[in-house]
A and B are shown apart, each in its own frame.
Chain A
């Protein structure tokens, strides 16, 4: 199962390695990990998206909690949080198909960031599901390059 774990940590060096180490030591590949600053200067938040057996993820969360530099951990579900991710895609689009892609972009509130003879570069920030869908719809045109930022997430309410 895919888990989104939000970890509040001390904003200092070495913390990222500690957190990542708990996953890598178990042979877990993290799908995405973002680190960002927060409203508090001395606190960062890591948003970790990882696939894994529920029991093992539970154990990893307990181990994360044991880290001295970890302040708080929460599980984020689609239902209880606002989740966003940014992607930039370079798609090869012949002039005749440009309009199609343009319309698709409009529908998903994506932005045309750059354009050349052969390529269109689009940027989109949205909830991860729409983002997945957008990427799927663009695939037939030929995605030459794609980069995703990893998720950020904030609990609702």
Chain B
């Protein structure tokens, strides 16, 4: 049977099992929207294309399924850029459709024309400009395959409107064969043996776990590995949840705002086992003084990530899940009781902490209360800045896909739309966006989407009246000149919420924090904004200043 290009697109999405799509219409995608009207999956109309792509990203991170997005040509496409780059940095599978002007107009500066494949080339895993209707179904099939396999990432398909309108026989391919793309899943058996013997003889090993473990659903295998070996575990921001932070072997997060003991353990280690992590500069600090004594095992599906920033002794290119499974079959536990003792001492001596006696509301306290009152079962999304770091530090994540945050790109405005996507993916859990007063204003327009779809997302604004993280740097390294980081002029968030039809709460007393969170948790049919007026100049500690090493770690406020 012959179908229009628009119908082929939608039928292909059905074949891919798509349950939810995010987007925004416009001229050249009207033909596609015409058939989306009767599509058998949910469509979420956001209020900005950036909201759509972040929501799809949050949906993907929470569900493990690819996020699907559509936008129109020109400004529709360019509004997606930040979201695509964000997904690309964090290896999140997205399939993004954009409309394009008709083929005979391309290159003519036609109305709403933008070279979106050109613009997104460096920020997608791959992209396509459909030039012939007969390729459309194959391209969609390939796009889903490329987005979700190997090291995942966003794939964009640009569809000229005349292709949407032309007709072709629909046949969805059942196989993909791309000769230039054959991701390797199995680790090399010899490398795995070498790794195991290094592990067995290590005296001071640390496992350093990144988002790759969550992407490859290897959390179970990781836990088995740690159970078998007794090796302490630290995670990156994106690795949180892969290993329970309530476990005595958890060192929590490492890096710039990681724990004292995670950073010191890594620095003193004689063997660092990197699993699905990429030695980002926020993790390593000054690379030349990073892990002076450690041998390195690096398990990663992306060969380009291995030996990129640090020299690796045993590289294992492969899928974390598959490789860990093989390791678990043969690995033996090292004897490291002294090492564990040493680490436990550091944990006691330098725990994550803050001034608990303070009269004002400490932002860390708010995060702890959210943890307590949701019994650690919430899915937490974050914005970017201090709020993000406190959300990482003061909530113990125990399950994969329950901490959703913009890591590589550090995108303010990501958290809330991502929370909408996450809530759609996880109706069984409460989703909380831990936000900053600055960040929330970057995509606050999506409130109406949460209201429309009755999504009970809680937006907990840690309102410090500042672009706090930048202010912190200005305070510590730029002689306290708070140049343009005041957010003293902010809307009344409670009224703003109410204007959207959401519940709005304002909290300016410590003793009201619990009540407000409980009130929010009791609301089940709409979003709730809680404006917590927290201590204005609270800082995030510990801190390894940018480009410095653990030696330079700042543990707490200098008097």
Residues on A lying within 8 angstroms of B by beta carbon are 9-10, 13-14, 17-18, 21, 25, 59, 62-63, 65-71
Given the interface contacts A14-B117, A21-B121, A21-B122, does A66 sit within 8 Å of B308 by beta carbon? no
Given the interface contacts A59-B304, A62-B303, does A68 sit within 8 Å of B121 by beta carbon? no
A10: chain B residues within 8 A (beta carbon): 180
B121: chain A residues within 8 A (beta carbon): 14, 17-18, 21
Question: Contacting B304 at CB < 8 Å: which of A13, A21, A66?
Answer: A66
Question: Contacting B181 at CB < 8 Å: which of A13, A62, A68?
Answer: A68
**Contact, CB under 8 Å: A68 / B180:** yes
Question: Contacting A65 at CB < 8 Å: which of B126, B178, B304?
Answer: B304
A-contacting residues, B95-141, CB 8 Å: 117-118, 121-122, 125-126, 129, 131
Query: At the interface, yes or no: B302 with Cβ under 8 Å from chain A?
Result: yes
Taken together as a complex, chains A and B put the C-alpha atoms of A39 and B422 apart, in Å, by 50
Taken together as a complex, chains A and B put the C-alpha atoms of A67 and B131 apart, in Å, by 20
**Contact, CB under 8 Å: A65 / B122:** no
B117: chain A residues within 8 A (beta carbon): 14
Question: Contacting B180 at CB < 8 Å: which of A13, A21, A63, A69?
Answer: A69
**Contact, CB under 8 Å: A62 / B304:** yes
Q: Which residue of A lies closest to B309 (CB)?
A: A59
Taken together as a complex, chains A and B put the C-alpha atoms of A9 and B180 apart, in Å, by 8
Interface residues on B, range: 10 to 19
**Contact, CB under 8 Å: B303 / A68:** no
A-contacting residues, B124-160, CB 8 Å: 125-126, 129, 131, 146
**Contact, CB under 8 Å: A68 / B304:** no
CB of A129, distance to nearest CB on chain B (Å): 33
Hey, what's the 0/1 contact readout for B280-324 against A, CB within 8 Å counting as 1? Answer: 000000000000000000000011100010000000000000000
Query: At the interface, yes or no: B175 with Cβ under 8 Å from chain A?
Result: no
**Contact, CB under 8 Å: B303 / A25:** no
Given the interface contacts A59-B304, A62-B303, does A68 sit within 8 Å of B129 by beta carbon? no
CB of A64, distance to nearest CB on chain B (Å): 9
Query: At the interface, yes or no: B179 with Cβ under 8 Å from chain A?
Result: yes
CB of A28, distance to nearest CB on chain B (Å): 14
A sample of 24 inter-chain contacts (CB < 8 A) reads A9-B180, A10-B180, A13-B131, A14-B117, A14-B121, A14-B129, A17-B121, A21-B121, A21-B122, A25-B122, A59-B304, A59-B308, A62-B308, A65-B303, A66-B302, A67-B180, A68-B125, A68-B126, A68-B146, A68-B178, A68-B180, A69-B180, A71-B179, A71-B180
Given A14-B129, A59-B304; 17 other pairs, CB 8 A cutoff? A10-B180, A13-B129, A14-B117, A14-B121, A17-B118, A21-B122, A25-B122, A62-B304, A66-B303, A67-B126, A67-B180, A68-B125, A68-B126, A68-B146, A68-B178, A71-B179, A71-B180
Taken together as a complex, chains A and B put the C-alpha atoms of A13 and B304 apart, in Å, by 25
Given the interface contacts A14-B117, A62-B303, A63-B304, does A70 sit within 8 Å of B180 by beta carbon? yes
Residue among B118, B122, B129, B302 with the highest chain A CB neighbour number at 10 A:
B122
A9: chain B residues within 8 A (beta carbon): 180
